[in-house]
Every structure is written in structure tokens, then in C-alpha cells.
Amino acid sequence: MAVIEQRYAQALADLVAQGVVPAGQMRRELAELTQVIESSHPLRTVLASPAVAWDKKRALLDAVADRVGVSRIARNFLIVAAQRGRVGRLAGMDLAFEQLLLEREGIVKAEVASARQLNARERAAIEAELARQLGRKLQTRYVTDAALVGGFVARVGDQVYDGSIRGRLGRLRQALLTA
């Protein structure tokens, strides 16, 4: 994540921490603004163009904010980002903001890949064990990967917990080659 996106996200997260705006509201509003701007190439082109006067850009940003129905804080955030030529980094700011909020809430994102669809009991057991080892709550996304053959691989940040058959076979192969 770029430093610029982190700084803007930190400013929003600080406002949330101060109680100026609820976290859920800011999450939703920033995501909606990001989606509207990212989905419109002509809008991004106009906002990035130095040939378009600031007052025209400001009117356009106000119209977007009105259409989405965001708070004064979200509107001001969008305007400041645009004034500084950073509206093209809004998606990164949104991602960084979400990560900061999750950190502050003691939640870590995890991705669990398994060879087959896991049932609720298996998911709960994996999540409980990972939460116990990490000492944090999890926000888990599950994917299937038939190449794993069996078991699962959990990715939490930069840590990988490999309990797959493919991983075990790879470790066995490495042990045989280095022994």
C-alpha cells in the first residue's frame, strides 16, 4: 500500500476513532464513492484533466456526492483528495481504510483454500484454531482449490499455514532431497 493512500486512510480512521463519524457509515460511503468513480472512465478523465477548471470539477464532485448521498465528512474527503490530484487513488485509500479499521477492531483477514467445499463445522474448527493461535478475531474468506488434493491452506497476512496434502508431499520431497 502506498504511503499516500495510508495517510488519507489514517486521517479518516482518526475521525472514526474520535467519534466524528461512525465506522460503518464511513466504510459504506467511501466504498460507494470509490465504486462510482472507478466505474466511470469519463469522470476519472475529467477529474484528472488540468484543462478542466477546478470550479467545474468541484460542481461535478458535489453532484456525485449528492447522488450517492454521503455525509459532509465523506464529501470533504473526496474534495480534498481531488484538489490534491489524488482521486485516482481512491480505491487504494478505501482498501487502506478498511485494513486500518480491522486492525483497530482486532480483526485479521484470512483466506482458507481447501480441496473441497468445507461444511460449517469444519470452518468453525479452522477459524477457532487460527483465532487461538493468533490471539485475534478473523474475517475469513473460503475458496476451493482442487490442486490441494486434500486438507487446507490458510493465509493470514504474510503467514501461511499449510495443512494440505500437496504441502505435505512437497515437504516430504524436500526432506528426501536434502537428507
Q: Do both 167 and 111 map to the same domain?
A: yes
Percent of the chain with pLDDT over 90: 65
Q: Do both 97 and 135 map to the same domain?
A: no
Q: Do both 146 and 174 map to the same domain?
A: yes
Q: Do both 132 and 87 map to the same domain?
A: no
Give the CA distances from residue 77 to residues 11, 15, 20, 66, 169, in Å, rounded to whole numbers and listed in that order.
9, 11, 13, 14, 51
Q: Do both 120 and 70 map to the same domain?
A: no
Residue 160 has a pLDDT of 87
Residue 15 has a pLDDT of 94
Residue 115 has a pLDDT of 86
Model confidence at 1, pLDDT cuts 50, 70, 90, reads: low
Q: Which domain holds residue 64?
A: 3-103
Asked whether the predicted pLDDT for residue 10 surpasses 90, the reply is yes
The residues that bridge with 156 in the sheet, in sequence order, are: 110, 159
Mean pLDDT of 86-94: 94
Last residue of a domain, one of 74, 103, 132: 103
Last residue of a domain, one of 103, 134, 159: 103
CATH of the domain at 82: 1.10.520.20
Nearest alpha-carbon partner for 126 in 115, 116, 114? 114
Cα–Cα distance between 165 and 150 in angstroms, integer?
5
Q: Do both 98 and 38 map to the same domain?
A: yes
Q: Do both 12 and 94 map to the same domain?
A: yes
Q: Do both 129 and 117 map to the same domain?
A: yes
Q: Do both 95 and 124 map to the same domain?
A: no
Contact of 82 with 57, CB cutoff 8 Å: yes
Q: Do both 40 and 92 map to the same domain?
A: yes
pLDDT tens track for 93-129: 999 999 899 888 888 889 999 989 999 999 999 899 8
Long-range contacts of 18-26 (CB under 8 A, 24+ apart): 20/73, 21/71, 21/73, 21/74, 23/101, 25/71, 26/71, 26/73, 26/74, 26/97
Reduced to 3 states, what is the DSSP secondary structure of residue 136? coil
Range with lowest mean pLDDT among 14-28, 70-84, 127-141: 127-141
Model confidence at 20, pLDDT cuts 50, 70, 90, reads: very high
pLDDT tens track for 137-167: 999 999 998 888 888 888 987 788 887 777 7
Cα–Cα distance between 83 and 43 in angstroms, integer?
15
Return the H-helix or E-strand segment holding 139: strand 137-144
Q: Do both 9 and 83 map to the same domain?
A: yes
Domains of the chain: total: 2
Q: Do both 147 and 68 map to the same domain?
A: no
Last residue of a domain, one of 41, 71, 103: 103
